[in-house]
Amino acid sequence: MDVNSTKTTPKNDLLLRALRGEKLDRPPVWMMRQAGRYLPEFRAIRDQYDFFTRCQTPELASEITVQPIRRYGMDAAILFSDILVIPQAMNIDVELRPNFGPYLPEPIRTRKDLDRVIVPDVHTSLDYVYKAIEQTLEKLDGEIPLIGFAGSPWTILCYCVQGQGSKTFDLAKEFCFSQPALAEELLQKITNTTIAYLKAKVAAGVHAVQVFDSWGGLLSPADFDRFSLPYMQQIVDELKDLCPVILYSKGAWYALNKMSKTGASALGVDWTCTPETARALSGGNITLQGNFDPARLLSPPETISAMVKEMIDSFGTTNYIANLGHGILPHIPLENAKAFIDAVKNYSA
C-alpha cells in the first residue's frame, strides 16, 4: 500500500520518495538534533524555559521544530521532543538537570519498582505532543514532511534502570542479565507504550517516524537479538503500513543485515561504518541514512562540502538520505551547518 495515501503530500517530497526507493538526482537532507542548541534562536528560548516546559508547550515545541527549516531549508523537519517523555508517561519520574543531563530519581531495578510502571493512555498523557504536531504542520504549511520519533525500548530501559546517562549502562545490562524476565516485562511495557505513542503521532499528521536505538551498540550481537531487535521489530510491524519507519541503532553495524529484514523503510548508519560496508551488510536494496561524523562539522566549510560530495558519491543518490551519523553538536558554527546542507542540495554527480 502507499503508506502516505491518507496524507497530503508535501510540495517537497524528496524524503518520502527516498524512503520508497525512487530514483533521485540528489538525496534529501536533514540533521539529527537539527532543532536544537547550536542555533542562537533556540538558545534564546532555552534561556526562558526549562527543557520539559519546552517539550510540553506546543507553541514552543513547534517553533523550535521549524527554526532550522527557516534558516537552512532542510528537506524534512523532525519534531522537537525527547525520548524520555515515554517513561514520564509511564509513571517514571524524569528530571533534566543542568550540566548533568537526564536524572531518574527512582530507577527500575526490582519487581516492586516494575509494578508501579504503567502502560498509559497516550492520548491523555502525551496530548501535548500531538498538539505540537498540529501546530508544526500549520507552520510548515505543506512544504516538507514532518518526522516523529521515539527511543527504542532497549534505549529507554537503559535510562529507566541506570537512572542517568552513562557510557556503559552497566546497571541496565546487569538488570537484563541477572533478571531477564523482569527486563523483558519492562521492555514489553515500553514497547506497547511506544507503539501507541507513534500511532497517535501518525494520526496527528507526521509523515514518517524514526526509532532511535542510541545504545544498541553497547550490546553484543547475541544480546542485541534478545533485548533490542525483537522490540523494534514489534514497532515496525505495527507502524509500517501506516507510515515509513526509519531504524537507527548507533554502533550496531553488525545488526544491519537483520534490521534490513524487519520491514523498516530505512536504516540509519553512523560514521564508523563505510557506505560500502553498510550497503553490503544491509543487502544493497534498503534506503540508508547518514553517516557524516558530527564532529566533522568543525572542519572548514570547503572541507565539509568536499566530504559531503564524497559521501553522496559513495552512497549514491537513490535509496539514500543524507544526514549526520548522530546528533549535531552544540558548538558547531552556523556557517558549517549551512555548508553541510547546501552541499547536499547543490549536489551533482
Taking only the tens of pLDDT, the chain with its 349 residues reads 344 445 789 999 999 999 999 999 999 999 999 999 999 999 999 999 999 999 999 999 999 999 999 999 999 999 999 999 999 999 999 999 988 999 999 999 999 999 999 999 999 999 999 999 999 999 999 999 999 999 999 999 999 999 999 999 999 999 999 999 999 999 999 999 999 999 999 999 999 999 999 999 999 999 999 999 999 999 999 999 999 999 999 999 999 999 999 999 999 999 999 999 999 999 999 999 999 999 999 999 999 999 999 999 999 999 999 999 999 999 999 999 999 999 999 999 8
Residue 1 lies in a domain: no
The annotation status of 111 as a binding-site residue, yes or no, is no
The annotation status of 20 as a binding-site residue, yes or no, is no
Interhelix angle 301-315/334-345, rounded to 10 degrees, is: 40
Which residues are part of the catalytic machinery? 33, 37, 46, 82, 159
CB of 109 closer than 8 Å to CB of 161: yes
**HSE (CB half, 13 Å, CA atoms) of 110?**
3
Task: Please report the pLDDT score of residue 312 as a whole number.
Answer: 98
Residue 331 lies in a domain: no
DSSP structure string for 160-228: HHHSB--SS-HHHHHHHHHSHHHHHHHHHHHHHHHHHHHHHHHHHT-SEEEEEETTGGGS-HHHHHHHT
Residue 203 lies in a domain: yes
Task: Please report the pLDDT score of residue 59 as a whole number.
Answer: 98
**Cell triple for residue 144?**
516538507
Residue 313 lies in a domain: no
**Cell triple for residue 286?**
534498503
- Domains contained in the chain, number: 1
Residue 49 lies in a domain: yes
Instruction: For residue 102, give the CATH number of its domain.
Output: 3.20.20.210
Alpha-carbon distance 33 to 37, whole Å? Answer: 8
**HSE (CB half, 13 Å, CA atoms) of 187?**
26
Residue 310 lies in a domain: no
Please, what's the b/e burial string for 13-39 (b: 16 or more CB within 10 A of its CB; e: otherwise)? bbbbbbbeeeebebbbbbbbbbbbebb
Task: Please report the pLDDT score of residue 3 as a whole number.
Answer: 42
Task: Please report the pLDDT score of residue 8 as a whole number.
Answer: 86
Residue 21 lies in a domain: no
The dihedral built from the CA positions of residue 297, 311, 140 and 241, taken in this order, carries a sign that is negative
Residue 312 lies in a domain: no
**Measured in Å, how far apart are the chain's first and last C-alpha atoms?**
32
The annotation status of 135 as a binding-site residue, yes or no, is no
Task: Give residues with Cβ within 8 angstroms of 333, minimum separation 6.
Answer: 297, 298
Domain of 131 in residue numbering reads as 35-289
Task: Please report the pLDDT score of residue 7 as a whole number.
Answer: 72
**Cell triple for residue 190?**
515500553
The annotation status of 34 as a binding-site residue, yes or no, is yes
Task: Please report the pLDDT score of residue 1 as a whole number.
Answer: 34
